[in-house]
Amino acid sequence: MAQGGVLGNGSKVAFSASSPVSWTRVGQLLNFEPPTLEVDEEETTVSSTTSNYKRFMPGMIDVTPMSFTVLQDLDEVTAADQAALAGYARDLTTIWWRIEIPTNRAKTRFKAMEFQGWIKKRAPSADVPSRQETMFEIRFDGDGIAEYNAGSSQIS
């Protein structure tokens, strides 16, 4: 039965440089935009005496970048996850990503997606009156996005 709407609060983002994966959660996550699938289209309209409609076939799939923003902590001692991400950004390393979005208000079941990608953008900040934030943008670099049935979290 439909939930009637669930907030995005409780969503998780994690990464792993190894396979088999060992997930490292991205801490202090302020917001994130999951990757979006957008399919190219190829027109297949043929001349017809019985139809005035254009026709299209699906083309290649573009995966828009996933982005997320964290409360910035540039100290590698207190934020090893952010230090690791900074290293992957510098080294242009393709790593595994897992996002989990809660499917119930109790936050006991999550819809999970996994894919490979590299850090396209890492944007720290240091405004005088504002909290420090770092924005990351992840570019897809894999064979597909795996989606799993809703279940318990694998990110601790």
Partner 1 sequence: MTVEEKVQEVLVGNAGLTALVPASKIRVSGDDQGIQVPYIMHFPVAEIPVETYSGAAGLRMWTSYQVDIYAGSLSAAAVIRDAVLAALNGYHDSITDRIFQAPGGSSDYNTDRKVAHVALDFEVAGLFV
Q: Which residues bind partner 1 (CB under 8 A)?
A: 8-12, 27-32, 71, 129, 131
Between 14 and 145, whose beta carbon lies closer to partner 1? 14
Provide the token pair at 4. Answer: 């009637």
CB of 11 to partner 1, least distance (A): 5
CB of 33 to partner 1, least distance (A): 13
Strand partners, 71: 133
DSSP 8-state assignment for residue 64: P
Between 11 and 24, whose beta carbon lies closer to partner 1? 11
Q: What's the distance, CA 96 to chain centroid?
A: 10
* Residue 123, CA distances (Å) to 28, 70, 74, 85 in order: 16, 10, 12, 12
Between 94 and 154, whose beta carbon lies closer to partner 1? 154
CB of 138 to partner 1, least distance (A): 16
